[in-house]
Every structure is written in C-alpha cells, then in structure tokens.
Structure 1
Amino acid sequence: MIDKDTIVALATASGSGAIAIIRISGHQALELCAPLFYAKSGLSILDQKSHSLQLGTIRSGERILDEVLVSVFRGQRSYTGEPTVEISCHGSSFIQKEIIQLLISKGCRAAQPGEFTLRAFLNGKMDLSQAEAVADLISSDNAASHQLAMQQMRGGFTSQLKELRQELLDFASLMELELDFSEEDVEFANRDQFQALVLKIQKVLSRLIDSFAVGNVIKNGIPVAIVGEPNVGKSTLLNALLNEERAIVSEIAGTTRDTIEDEISIGGIGFRFIDTAGIRETQDTIEGLGIQRTFEKIKQSQVIVKLIDTPKVFDQKHQLIPEEWERVKADIQQLKEAFPERPFLLLANKADLLTDANKDTLRADFKDLLFISAKAKTGIEAIQEQLLSYVDAGALRNNDSIVTNSRHYNALLLAMEEINKVQEGLNQGLTTDLLAIDIRQALYHFGEITGEVTNDELLGNIFANFCIGK
C-alpha cells in the first residue's frame, strides 16, 4: 500500500510569513533535492548527516530562488519512516510556490491531505489511533483538548488494548489448536484463566466506553444553550461571558432572530455558547423561525442556561406578583420536563434591581438559583464555576485514558458485544469452535482501532480530513 513516489508539500500554514517549511518525503527525496541545493559548506545533501542542518541556496539552473536551511532525516529516523528533506525558506508565497513547482518538475508529486502521516502509519512509526491524534492535536484550541490529543499520541488507551488483544490472541491460538486435536478431547486453553481474561477485558472496555461521554464534548467543545424570554438579557450575558460585544443588544424585544454561537475556554475546557432567539408567541414569520431554531439548538446542547427577568415578577413596591411568578415557574418546569437529562443552570438576571427580601422569596422555590447582572457583569465567575462542575474532568486530571474519537467508540461497542457473547458462551459451556467465532470477531474490532485491521476506504476517510503537508 505504500506509494513509492516522492511527495512534496508546504508543511507550515499557507500564505505569507517570516518562515515557511517545505517537506519532501520518499525514497528518492535526497537524490531529487541534492542537485537543487548549493550548501555554503560545499557539502552535498547526499553526504549530509541525518538530523542536521545546512545553510545554502536553492537554485533553478543559474537562478537563485532563495537562501534556505535544509534539514535531512535519513531512513527510518524521520516522521514518515522514509528519507525526508525539509527546506526552511523565507515565507513569501511566491518563493514557496517557486520551490514547490521546481521540485515537482524534477520528479516529486504534490502530497495528498494527510499523506505524510499516512506513510508514518504504513511504515510502522505510529498506530492508526496515534495518527488520528495528530489531526486532533492540530485542531486543539484549549488545554483539555490538547491534553487528550497528547495522551493519545503517546499511546493512550491503545497500548492497553494491544496488550489485551495479544492475551486474547494467545488464547484464541490455543483454542484453534484444540480444534486440530478435537478427536483426542484435549484442552490447551485453561477455561478459568480465560474467564478471568474476559472479565478483565469487559471491565476495561466498559470504562473506555463510558469515558466517551466526557471525551467527545471536551474535544468538540461543550454546547451551552442560553434560553429565555425576549429582552431577558441573553445577548448581554453572551457578551459578558465572551468579554466582547459579540451579539447586538437593544431594548427592543426580539432583537436576536437567529442563533449566535461563539466558544471560549473556561478552566482549560472549551464551552460553545449559543445565544438563542427569545421564546414567545409571535406573528413575525422571521422571529418565529428563530424561535423554532432555538428548540433545535436546545436539543443539540449539553447544558441549558435559563435566564429569568426577575424584576418583572415584582411590582413597584417590590411585592411578588403571584400570577407572573407562577407563569415563570411553569415555563421552567416545562423546559426541565422536555429535557430531563440536561444539566440545568437557572439564572436570575438583573439582580441588582432586587432587594434581599426579593431574593429570599425566589430562593424559596429554587434553591439553586444564581443571582447575576449580565449588564454589570456580576456573577459571571459563579456561572463559570457552575459550568465546570457539570464536566466530569476527574479522569482528565488523573491522566486516565479517555476516548474522544467516534470511530474508536463504535469499535469498542462492537468489541464489547462480541466479548459479552464469549462470556455467555463460557457460562453455557459452548464448544470450542463456537467460542472461537466470537473471539475472532472481538479481535477484529480491537484491530480496527489500532490499525491491525484496515482497508483503503477506511484510511481514505481518516486521512482526507488532514491538512496537506501533515
């Protein structure tokens, strides 16, 4: 499956910058680059030591394209596991283009998305889950997602899976041997030891499957829907949380007619806030569409933040208006019943307009009510602390293995299904040939995660999402 072509691509971000790096990888990388590079020392790339740098010029005939630094990585001692040259040139888009076109004219091929990392996988430099973690690392935009990607790049849970797979494979081999000697009725695989291994595998798989609930939202950012009636202060709260004027704020009810999203990092974890259209009955078609989209976003969210315009439930003498408060409580109850599994953060906005007695009255019905002023930016830290409390980051803090990839999650579910069949077969005393079928299927799903089992379509889907040059 390994392409013998020598590939080239820009390894740094496209566009102008101080420095750009052009990466060339393949068995002919050194030979193709050598005639184009003139070192100040006079040493040819072909004689340059691995993991060393040389200053010189890249030339097209007699024309000097740029003064560059050239790095050489020989044999298996490179990122891709094959001879690699990296040219550090000045960051002009024109220079980058000229050097890449020169290399292509001399026999290189433009690299496909993720092709360098694909070659690293095919050459045994990393397993498939580690290769996928490279893309996660590049896209990580907060401390938590970065930590998860780094854990996976260092082996993560796959090193443990490899050990379990090998143990399972050893037992499978013994069972296959039993089938060869079925007429002698010989037992090579100790059933008690095998039972213990199955229980061990079930425990590990169960923990990893459960970790996906946390890992997936940490990786992609935890979606938080900010909901409430029109003009309750949702957009003001979004601006306060983001510390910028992201949403338009006005006293006109129904200003926000579509959802507005932005993401920030709180305690190293990404939260994706969604400012929704105010929920009310309306004859305005456009506003109605916005309200419809609000309910769609609530369904997609992991946390619901409900704002109450608390001054509205009190009259000018700071006396509670019972019918208004009952209506608000009914709205809250309806929202909780519609989304019972979502963490629910209830905020009393414009609390600076309330008396202490007013606050005590509201607390009597909702003990977990947080009093804030989005306009004055008071209570924002309390909101952040409460949001963090909804995230079970204990495993993250303890550097436990956490599954973040949906492909891994699906393979783990399938592996668990087959292991459960093995467990059931052992309990029922099934024959060796029937047990062996389920064991082979479990081994297959283990192999899907780490890359022992692959196909061109799977690899194409994975590496198509990479950037070119990585």
Structure 2
Amino acid sequence: MVQTLFSDTIVALATPPGVGALAVVRLAGPDAVGLIAGVFSKKNLAAQPGHTLHYGTIRDPDGGALIDEVVVALYRAPRSFTREDAVEISTHGSDYVVRQLLALLLRRGARLAEAGEFTKRAFLNGALDLAQAEAVADLIAADSALSHQVALNQLRGGFSQELRTLRGRLVTFASLLELELDFGEEDVEFADRTGLRALLGEVADRVAALLRSFELGNVIKNGITVVIAGRPNAGKSTLLNALLREERAIVSAIPGTTRDFIEDEVSLDGLRFRFVDTAGLRDDPADEVEAIGVQRTRQRIGQAALLLYLFDLTELTPAQVQAEIGALTAAHPALPVLAVGNKLDLASGEQLAGFDGFAVDGTAAVRLAAARGQGLEALQTALLARVRGAGLAGHAGATIVTNVRHARALAVAAEHLAAVRAGLDAGRGTELLAADLRHALGALGEITGEISSDDLLTSIFTQFCIGK
C-alpha cells in the first residue's frame, strides 16, 4: 500500500447530471472500499482485489431500503487514477437514485469532492505532473480530432518530457554557477562560459518555437474564427446556412438584413471553424442600427483568424474586389484572406471569364452558388488549404502549446534566458547570471508543477468539472 497525502474519502457524480441509461459515482480515499462494502450485498468487497468488477445491490443499512442494482469497480492503491483506493459505482441513470446513493455515502463518512479534486489528488500523489493534469480538462473539452490529439499527447507526457529535458540541461550549468558563488573568494570558474552560451542558444530557440506554437494551439483549442464579410446581398447569410446545413441566419433580398453577428461552428477535417456572418459593408448605411453593425463588422475582422470575403460575381470586377479587400485589411496586413465569388449560377460567361486566374495573396478565388449548395466542397478544401498555408494548422505529432498559463511561463523563461545571454556578452558577474538562470528554471518548473503554490493549484483545479 502506498502512503498517500489524504486521510479523508471524497465522492462525486462522475457522469453529467440528468436522466440517462447509466450514472457513475466515484469515491477515492483510504475508506473508499470500506464505505461501499458496508452497503453492498452478495460479497465482501473489502476482501476483493483491485481492478475487478462486482455485480450486486446497494441497500441503506439503517432502514434496509434497496437503492439500486449496481456494478462496482474496485481499484487498489497505487494502481488507480489518484493512487489511492478508489471505487466507481455504475447505477441506473436516475436523478433520484444518484441523490439517494450520494446521501448514503455522505452519511457513512465520505465528503463531496470539490471541482477537479480527483485530478488534484492525482497530481499531489505524483501520478501526474501539472501539465498532464491540465491536459485532463483539455481532453474532456476536446471537440475536434486535432484538439483531441494535442490533449492526448500532453496527457501522455510528451510536453512534460520535453520541458524536463530542457530544464535538466540548464540545471547542470546552474549548479556550477551556484558552486562558483560558494567559492567567490577563490575567483574560479566551474561553468564553461562558451558551453553555457551554446546551451542557452539551443534552449532559447526551443522555448521560442514552443511559444510560436501557441498561436496554432490557441486555434486548435478555441477554433478558427472565420469572418464572412462583403457587400449587402452578396449571400453571406445564405453561405452560413449552407455551411451549417440549417437555416441559422435570416435570408432576404432586402439589403442590410443582418445587423449583428450570427455565428456557429463546423468541424472540417478535424479542425473546428467558427463562422461569423456579419453586416453587409457599404458606405451609406440605411440607418443608425445598420451603421453600428458595419462598424462592428470592421472590428470583428480585426479579431479573425481568417477573412472570407464574399462577393457577387454578377456585380463586381476583379479590381473592385481587390480594392475592397485591401481597404478591409489595411489595418491587418497579416490577416489571411480567402476571396469567394458567389452566384455562380447567375453570372454570365463574360463575367466569369473576367475572374479567370483571379487570386488574393497567391490564393485562387473560389466560385460557388451558395443558394444551390454548388461549390461548397471546393470552398471547404480551399479553407483548409488557406489556414494550413497560413500556419494555423498542421504539425501533426509536434509538441503544441495550447494553455495560456504555459505560454506565459515560457515567455518569462525566454526573457530570463535572454538576460543570461546578454549578461554573458557583457561580462556580468556570476551572481547576476545565476539569478537570471534561477528565474528561467523557475518559470519552466511552474509549467509541470515542480514549483507551485496553493493559489496556483486552486486557480487551475477549480476550472475542472466536479467528479474529475
């Protein structure tokens, strides 16, 4: 039996609340098996080994009332998620049954778990480091193939191992610098400055690469925001409905129908796209409300990961489209753009010929008829190609940072690594070099929890769901 850090036993519903076929109630702690053994029929659970399933009934020993027929899964320390004795009770998914079971276990000495407390115990008992623990929440929230892949890689320790390797290499030099401080009066150098400079360059480059990956990680975790912009009646709402395969936005021949944002999500090839339908752009809005909508559209474009500029093939020329896109992106020159010509079915041969070879930033414009659903597959292919070409997706199997806390810690580490390199170049004393290196090591250690505080842990685990 492994000695754990906790003397109490916690309990919580591990499945979503509400009526369903099954519900799972989870216990963890030193009395987890004993608590359920006292109310379980058929066999003595306290004598059963871990990683076994047991069918039986649960009764309230005080009144003898039958609560439910259940299947009990036993886990013995340290071979459990929290490294404690743990029990998972599968009951029928009745709110009443769950309430009665929880009340019974609370009367017998368990206490309700706090949000994220099972995972917090796993971290504090050494089953997971902090980055892996946070990946548990990311895995639960994953709603696309890429977000699932990235969370699973982090949960399995890929990111943590890379950080430990970087940190371990720096620790060696840090210890030599600290040794120099102990022999300050001797004026000796144990840490080879040339080797330290080379190592700092390698580590700083890798930290910078991890920081750059956060842009991609943020997109994977939160989705790619695609703002659909264009003139009134270009077909923006029709396109949104076609992409979503439902009548999400009001479609009308009256210009200016859309006054505010309408947005929803679609998953394409494992990437989550959030499409935002916006007010039509024109210089003379019909009223104050439409003017506000146009202003908000321009603001929303600045927050987008990709601008989908939709234009009417029967109304505009390539030069006009290029000019309007240029005006919209003047303040956001790095914003990826995909030009999409709508009403393909209504355009004449001459109008279509005018757009032959038309491209924006080297990306060919897509032609479609949104009202008929014609050309949607070509649009989806172009969207995926555009975001991947802009560096917003891909890198399968690479370590990708998705957590804001991790990105901030990496930024702090990068700052102090740069300070150490500058100190070496300026010939600064060992004490200053050692101080900056300690700060860099501390920042990297905060990511995995090698250095942590109660406030940090509370902030992280209270964001988890109860029961996990």
TM-score normalised by the shorter chain: which range applies? Answer: over 0.9
Residue of structure 1 in register with 2:117 after alignment:
115
Residue of structure 2 in register with 1:79 after alignment:
81
2:371 is the alignment partner of 1:375: yes
Post-superposition offset of 1:364: 6.8
Instruction: Tell me which of 398, 402, 405 is aligned to 2:403.
Output: 405
2:365 is the alignment partner of 1:388: no
Unpaired stretches in structure 1, ≥5 consecutive residues: 314-319
Residue of structure 1 in register with 2:348 after alignment:
355
- Once the two structures are superposed, what CA deviation does each residue of 1:206-257 show, in whole Å capped at 9, x if it has no partner? 1111111111111110000001122110011111112222212122222222
Instruction: Tell me which of 295, 308, 331 is aligned to 1:338.
Output: 331
Instruction: Supply the distance in 1 between the matched residues of 2:189 and 2:116 (Cα, whole angstroms).
Output: 48
Q: TM-score, normalised by structure 1?
A: 0.93
Instruction: Tell me which of 449, 460, 463 is aligned to 1:462.
Output: 460
Instruction: Supply the distance in 2 between the matched residues of 1:342 and 1:48 (Cα, whole angstroms).
Output: 61
Instruction: Supply the distance in 1 between the matched residues of 2:292 and 2:392 (Cα, whole angstroms).
Output: 40
User: Secondary structure of 1:157's match?
Assistant: helix
Asked whether the equivalents of residues 9 and 100 of structure 1 are also in contact (C-alpha less than 8 Å), the reply is yes
User: Secondary structure of 2:263's match?
Assistant: strand
1:29-40 alignment, distance < 5 Å: 29-38=32-41, 40=42
Residue of structure 2 in register with 1:317 after alignment:
none
- Once the two structures are superposed, what CA deviation does each residue of 1:325-380 show, in whole Å capped at 9, x if it has no partner? 76655423211313211111111110222233322223476563222111121221
Post-superposition offset of 1:161: 0.9
Asked whether the equivalents of residues 306 and 347 of structure 1 are also in contact (C-alpha less than 8 Å), the reply is yes
Post-superposition offset of 1:187: 2.6
Letter matched to residue 377 of structure 1: G
Asked whether the equivalents of residues 74 and 82 of structure 1 are also in contact (C-alpha less than 8 Å), the reply is yes
Asked whether the equivalents of residues 214 and 391 of structure 1 are also in contact (C-alpha less than 8 Å), the reply is no
1:292-371 alignment, distance < 5 Å: 292-313=295-316, 329-363=322-356, 366=359, 368-371=364-367
1:25-64 alignment, distance < 5 Å: 25-38=28-41, 40=42, 42=43, 44-61=44-61, 62-64=64-66
Asked whether the equivalents of residues 395 and 402 of structure 1 are also in contact (C-alpha less than 8 Å), the reply is no
Asked whether the equivalents of residues 135 and 151 of structure 2 are also in contact (C-alpha less than 8 Å), the reply is yes
Asked whether the equivalents of residues 216 and 393 of structure 2 are also in contact (C-alpha less than 8 Å), the reply is no
Post-superposition offset of 1:277: 1.5
Post-superposition offset of 1:119: 0.8
Instruction: Supply the distance in 2 between the matched residues of 1:338 and 1:195 (Cα, whole angstroms).
Output: 39
Distance 1:400 1:364, change over 3 A: closer
- Once the two structures are superposed, what CA deviation does each residue of 1:404-425 show, in whole Å capped at 9, x if it has no partner? 1111111101101101111122
User: Secondary structure of 2:310's match?
Assistant: strand
Instruction: Supply the distance in 1 between the matched residues of 2:167 and 2:374 (Cα, whole angstroms).
Output: 54
2:219 is the alignment partner of 1:217: yes
Post-superposition offset of 1:396: 4.3
Residue of structure 1 in register with 2:424 after alignment:
426
Residue of structure 2 in register with 1:173 after alignment:
175
Residue of structure 2 in register with 1:442 after alignment:
440
Instruction: Supply the distance in 2 between the matched residues of 1:270 and 1:398 (Cα, whole angstroms).
Output: 16
Letter matched to residue 441 of structure 1: H
Asked whether the equivalents of residues 303 and 343 of structure 1 are also in contact (C-alpha less than 8 Å), the reply is yes
Letter matched to residue 350 of structure 2: A
Instruction: Supply the distance in 2 between the matched residues of 1:105 and 1:407 (Cα, whole angstroms).
Output: 39
Instruction: Supply the distance in 1 between the matched residues of 2:8 and 2:315 (Cα, whole angstroms).
Output: 71
Post-superposition offset of 1:73: 1.0
Distance 1:365 1:49, change over 3 A: closer
Asked whether the equivalents of residues 226 and 273 of structure 1 are also in contact (C-alpha less than 8 Å), the reply is yes
- Once the two structures are superposed, what CA deviation does each residue of 1:174-214 show, in whole Å capped at 9, x if it has no partner? 22112112222333223333222212211211111111111
Residue of structure 1 in register with 2:271 after alignment:
269
Asked whether the equivalents of residues 12 and 22 of structure 1 are also in contact (C-alpha less than 8 Å), the reply is yes
Distance 1:170 1:19, change over 3 A: same
Letter matched to residue 52 of structure 1: T
Instruction: Supply the distance in 1 between the matched residues of 2:32 and 2:285 (Cα, whole angstroms).
Output: 66
Q: Which moved more, 1:151-160 or 1:364-373?
A: 364-373
Asked whether the equivalents of residues 314 and 348 of structure 2 are also in contact (C-alpha less than 8 Å), the reply is no
1:95-134 alignment, distance < 5 Å: 95-134=97-136
Letter matched to residue 190 of structure 1: D
User: Secondary structure of 2:420's match?
Assistant: helix
Letter matched to residue 436 of structure 2: D
Post-superposition offset of 1:80: 1.0
Distance 1:236 1:177, change over 3 A: same
User: Secondary structure of 1:166's match?
Assistant: helix
Q: TM-score, normalised by structure 2?
A: 0.93
Instruction: Tell me which of 10, 14, 21 is aligned to 1:7.
Output: 10
What is the number of residues matched between the two proteins? 457
Instruction: Supply the distance in 1 between the matched residues of 2:199 and 2:319 (Cα, whole angstroms).
Output: 58
Unpaired stretches in structure 2, ≥5 consecutive residues: none
Instruction: Supply the distance in 1 between the matched residues of 2:162 and 2:393 (Cα, whole angstroms).
Output: 16
2:414 is the alignment partner of 1:416: yes
Distance 1:130 1:30, change over 3 A: same
Letter matched to residue 259 of structure 2: R
Residue of structure 1 in register with 2:157 after alignment:
155
Instruction: Tell me which of 197, 203, 206 is aligned to 2:205.
Output: 203
Instruction: Supply the distance in 1 between the matched residues of 2:45 and 2:359 (Cα, whole angstroms).
Output: 73
User: Secondary structure of 1:312's match?
Assistant: coil
Post-superposition offset of 1:123: 0.8
Instruction: Supply the distance in 2 between the matched residues of 1:409 and 1:330 (Cα, whole angstroms).
Output: 37
CA RMSD of superposed structures (Å): 2.0
Q: Identity, % of aligned pairs?
A: 49
Distance 1:37 1:229, change over 3 A: same
Asked whether the equivalents of residues 363 and 369 of structure 1 are also in contact (C-alpha less than 8 Å), the reply is no
Instruction: Supply the distance in 1 between the matched residues of 2:257 and 2:308 (Cα, whole angstroms).
Output: 19
Instruction: Tell me which of 115, 139, 142 is aligned to 2:141.
Output: 139
Distance 1:295 1:3, change over 3 A: farther
Post-superposition offset of 1:7: 0.9
